[in-house]
Amino acid sequence: MENTMDIIENPFSKSNNNKGKEIKEKAVIGITQIAVLLIIAILFVILGIIIYQGRDKFSWEFISSFPTDGMTKGGIFPALIGTFILVIVMSIAAVPFGTITAIYLTEYAHEKSKFAAAVRFSIRTLAVVPSIIFGLFGLGFFIQFMGKGMDSTFNGGELHWGQPNILWASLTMALLTLPVIIVSVEEALKTIPRELREASLALGATKWQTIKQVVFPGSISGIMTGTILAVSRGAGEVAPILFTGAAYYLATLPGSLSDQFMNLGYHVYIMSTQSSDVEKTMPIQFATTLVLLILTLSLNLVAVVIRSRIRRKAK
Amino acid sequence: MNSPLPKEPTFTKESLKKQFRLSEFLAEKVISSVAFLSIAIIFLIFIFVFKESLPLFSAAEKVQVQTETQTITGATVETYGSETSTESEPETYGEPAESLEPETYGTPTEELNPVAEESSEPETYGTVTEDLNPDSASEEVVAVDEKVTQNNEGEDRTWSTFFTTEWVPVSDNPRFGLIALLIGTLKVTLIAMLIAGPLAILAAVYTSCFASNRRKEIIKPIIEMLAAFPSVVIGFFAMMVLATFFQDIFGYDSRLNAFIGGVAMALAAIPIIYTISEDALSAVPKTYTEASLALGASKAQTAFSVILPAATPGIFAALLLGVGRVFGETMIALMATGNAALLSANPFESVRTFAATIGSEMAETVFGETHYSVLFFIGSLLFIFSFILNAVAEFYVKGKLIKKFQGK
């Protein structure tokens, strides 16, 4: 059998002179496979080491108590609360803004509208601008321009808003996370079938009524995904709040929007680079990193699950 | 057949005409103006980051203003162009000095008279870091005092020092050698891209060309999970674990160096490059693959000589965005590169990147100082760079891809 096949040189036959090719083929595929495995391995190594090193210190007490002894002992409660306040204020600012922009892009913008193209381009640019630039912008715009402006008009020049605080840090973070929200909401809006919109319009509803009562309710899950992803991102970013409101150590929790705050990511940064005794506080640093990682990864996981559900529904 | 038309048709031209509804009109306008804000934000970011670096460009005018105002000692001057010059206010941080501001008409410069520093204590910006870096803080007080005496020539010199290789922002003779920072940034970017580029692209090829659907569904979310790692966590990991690990292997002197920074940044860039290249590879029409396989090419041959070349523009875009990410990455650079502005080709020496310079020094500068303006200037450079990268990735690449797949 094999001999006859070889005579007509069947390209599909697996004869001896093809063996070299086969090995090469396997090697090439193997290399790409190794790349995938390597990336996944690195990911789990990072996760594993941080969990391993942080697990001793990680406890309810650690999460719920204040740092003591010049931050060489105690917990991370204020940093956690600071991060929560930051992401809440950030979401309040970014979610409506992002949702409305996404509604514009899917519902109102014409396919070939130059304006919509410019909006899309700006959003993508916003997504790639380095996070430190947002920090500079927060300092130059929110603190120097808005804050100082508010002080000179309302407070008679007394410094109140013209310095780093939660509000400015949150707004800076809101700008950073805006693209995340817009993209998720847009994706969710696109999964709403055209027929639903057309049915609503055919029944005599106006465009705004359609959006309000048909499109918007269908996009709630998308808004949730976007918000969760944005919170996950905002909780982890440090560069934008370096000079817009994060504080090294505060003895009390922030009482108003014009206070500074502690932040988990910033806490990790200063503890590992500027602490009085980096070696001694190592367990605290790993445990803080672990808390931050659990926070961001679990939020991300929830978002991924919701998103895949939306996609499945769309199919 | 000739049935007469009803006298009053249900749909007249009038009733079919789109009715003007105020609420509809308002909703549309409000929604599109909110959308417009995202365009405005881009402009605002550029304007306000660039604005703070403006004093550098008007050094000549500045000298003139200083001579005018130097007569009034102890006053803080700040003029925001002509429209706000009437309500200019004291600008020293944390110390609202009540003093009269001499108005300087017609000079659209914004500056802080260094003379003020003599009377009012120079408060550093983030009071938090002040006590952490006692060296630099005290150094700065000295520097500021000394700068007052030699300020006029110092201002003029700022520009010329940009092209030197020394970055010594805080001294009695400050030098802002951007070249040293540029080399450092490029070095880290190169190392990061050499690691992240091949790894991410190979992984993307595997996912989109070889993996079964089930594997694909597992691999993609896991690698994308890497994107959810905050950069401060990656930086921390690099600093605590990777640095020691690689030092044990290679045995170099400085624990934190360009190589460690590059490896850590590669981790941050991999998910970006992977996701975008994977999209690009999956976007290659199925007909390409089928034609290639039908001609007798193997799977690997198809992947590397048909699909990969077809997706080149998309992969190029992925690499560009990866470069953008690494170039502007702050926290990893701050924590893992050692932050010394050394000039050497050795990858195992400490380096200092643009972004890390902004991140670490901004807290120690005084508003309006040359150093402050230089940092904002670096910020505008970073912004322009990432803007251009994105624009190239967007227009050039997209145009090419569309042309390619439509066979034009």
β-sheet bridge partners, residue A73: A68
Which among A115, A123, A243 has CB closest to B362? A243
CB pair distance less than 8 Å for B210 and A140: no
Q: What is the mean pLDDT of chain A?
A: 84
Dist. CA B255–CA B350, nearest whole Å: 8
Dist. CA B102–CA A253, nearest whole Å: 41
CB proximity list for B17: less than 8 A, separation 6 or greater: none
- Nearest Cα to Cα of residue B45 among A90, A95, A109, A128: A128
Predicted pLDDT of residue A3: 52
Which among B96, B210, B233 has CB closest to A159? B96
Sequence-ordered alpha helix ranges (H) in B206-257? 213-225, 231-237, 243-250
Sequence-ordered alpha helix ranges (H) in B54-177? 59-69, 116-119, 127-130, 134-149, 151-161
Dist. CA A177–CA A241, nearest whole Å: 13
DSSP secondary structure string, A125-171?
HHHHS-HHHHHHHIIIIIIIIIIHHHHHHHSTT-SSSSS--HHHHHH
| Tens of pLDDT, residue by residue, chain B (408 residues) | 555 555 555 666 666 666 677 888 888 888 888 888 889 999 999 888 888 888 777 754 444 444 444 434 333 434 333 333 333 333 334 333 333 344 334 334 333 344 333 333 333 333 333 333 444 444 444 444 444 444 444 445 566 667 666 777 766 677 777 888 888 888 899 999 999 999 999 999 999 888 888 888 888 888 888 888 999 999 999 988 888 888 888 877 777 888 888 999 999 999 999 999 998 888 888 888 889 889 988 888 888 888 888 888 888 889 998 998 898 888 998 888 877 777 777 778 888 888 888 888 887 777 777 788 888 888 898 999 999 988 888 887 777 766 666 654
Mutual orientation of helices B312-328 and A114-128 as an angle, nearest 10°? 50
- How is chain B split into domains, by residue range? 23-51, 54-161, 178-405
CB-count exposure of residue A78 (10 Å: 0-12, 13-18, 19+):
buried
A301 to chain B: closest CA residue: B225
Tell me which DSSP letter residue B338 carries: B
Q: What is the pLDDT of residues A96-111, one digit of tens each?
A: 999 999 999 888 888 7
Which pair of structure tokens corresponds to residue B300? Answer: 């690997």
Cβ A97 vs Cβ A174: under 8 Å? yes
Segment holding A67, helix H or strand E = strand A67-68
- Chain A positions in Cβ-Cβ contact with residue B398 (cut-off 8 Å): none
Q: In sequence order, what E strands does A190-272 have?
A: none
CB pair distance less than 8 Å for B235 and A269: yes
Q: Tell which CATH classification among 1.10.3720.10, 3.30.420.40, 1.10.10.10, 3.40.50.300 matches the domain B178-405.
A: 1.10.3720.10
CB pair distance less than 8 Å for A21 and B298: yes
Predicted pLDDT of residue B147: 41
- The number of residues making up chain B comes to 408
CB pair distance less than 8 Å for B240 and A286: yes
Predicted pLDDT of residue B69: 43
Predicted pLDDT of residue B305: 87
Q: What is the pLDDT of residues B303-325, one digit of tens each?
A: 888 888 888 888 888 999 899 88
**Phi–psi pair at B72, nearest 5 degrees:** -95, 95
**Phi–psi pair at B380, nearest 5 degrees:** -65, -35
Cβ B341 vs Cβ B261: under 8 Å? no
Cβ A61 vs Cβ A142: under 8 Å? no
**Alpha carbon B363 to chain centroid, angstroms:** 18
- Chain B positions in Cβ-Cβ contact with residue A164 (cut-off 8 Å): 126
Between vectors from CA B214 to CA B211 and to CA B220, what angle results, nearest 5°? Answer: 70
- Identify the three-state secondary structure at position A277: coil
- Chain A positions in Cβ-Cβ contact with residue B25 (cut-off 8 Å): none
β-sheet bridge partners, residue B175: B168
CB pair distance less than 8 Å for A24 and B300: yes
CB pair distance less than 8 Å for B379 and A136: yes
- From residue A13, give the alpha-carbon distance in Å to each of A3, A7, B88, B378: 11, 11, 85, 62
Dist. CA B317–CA B323, nearest whole Å: 10
- In a mutational test of the A interface, the residue from B33, B45, B111, B323 whose CB has the highest number of chain A CBs within 10 Å is B45
CB proximity list for B140: less than 8 A, separation 6 or greater: B122, B124, B170, B364, B366
**Phi–psi pair at B406, nearest 5 degrees:** -95, 0
- Chain A positions in Cβ-Cβ contact with residue B209 (cut-off 8 Å): 32
- Nearest Cα to Cα of residue A268 among A293, A243, A245, A244: A293
- In a mutational test of the B interface, the residue from A101, A103, A129, A184 whose CB has the highest number of chain B CBs within 10 Å is A129
- In a mutational test of the B interface, the residue from A45, A136, A308 whose CB has the highest number of chain B CBs within 10 Å is A136
Task: List average pLDDT for each run of 10 residues in chain A, which is 315 residues long.
Answer: 51 59 85 92 92 85 78 81 91 92 88 86 90 90 85 77 87 92 89 88 87 87 89 90 83 78 88 78 87 90 85 74
Question: How far B35 CA lies from chain A's nearest CA (Å)?
Answer: 5
β-sheet bridge partners, residue A261: A246
Helix (H), strand (E) counts: chain A: 14, 2
Cβ B209 vs Cβ B290: under 8 Å? no
- How is chain A split into domains, by residue range? 2-53, 59-314
Dist. CA A106–CA A87, nearest whole Å: 27
Which pair of structure tokens corresponds to residue B63? Answer: 């000298």
- Chain B positions in Cβ-Cβ contact with residue A184 (cut-off 8 Å): none
B314: left (phi over 0), alpha (psi -120 to 50) or beta: alpha
CB proximity list for B97: less than 8 A, separation 6 or greater: B76, B90, B116, B119, B120
CB pair distance less than 8 Å for B126 and A97: no
Dist. CA B156–CA A183, nearest whole Å: 47
Between vectors from CA B83 to CA B78 and to CA B89, what angle results, nearest 5°? Answer: 30
Predicted pLDDT of residue A41: 93
Beta carbon pairs, A and B, within 8 Å: 292
CB pair distance less than 8 Å for B240 and A285: yes
Predicted pLDDT of residue A150: 84
End-to-end alpha carbon distance in chain A: 48
Predicted pLDDT of residue B76: 40
Domain A59-314: which topology?
MetI-like fold (1.10.3720)
Dist. CA B33–CA B28, nearest whole Å: 8
Tell me which DSSP letter residue B395 carries: I
Which among A49, A137, A270 has CB closest to B48? A137
Dist. CA A313–CA A191, nearest whole Å: 8
- Chain B positions in Cβ-Cβ contact with residue A14 (cut-off 8 Å): none
Dist. CA B376–CA B300, nearest whole Å: 49
Buried b (16+ CB within 10 A) or exposed e, B121-131: ebebbbbbbbe
Question: How far B346 CA lies from chain A's nearest CA (Å)?
Answer: 24
Question: How far A61 CA lies from chain B's nearest CA (Å)?
Answer: 22
Tell me which DSSP letter residue B226 carries: G
CB pair distance less than 8 Å for B274 and A39: yes
Which pair of structure tokens corresponds to residue A155? Answer: 């407070």
What radius of gyration do chain A's Cα atoms show?
26
Cβ A285 vs Cβ B232: under 8 Å? no
Predicted pLDDT of residue B17: 63
- From residue A262, give the alpha-carbon distance in Å to each of A52, A300, B119, B408: 25, 23, 32, 56
ipTM: 0.88
- Chain A positions in Cβ-Cβ contact with residue B45 (cut-off 8 Å): 129, 133-134, 137, 141, 175
Which among B35, B198, B387 has CB closest to A104? B35
Q: What is the pLDDT of residues A25-81, one digit of tens each?
A: 888 889 999 999 999 999 999 999 999 988 888 888 888 888 777 677 777 888 888
Q: Which residue has the tokens 């670490």?
A: B360
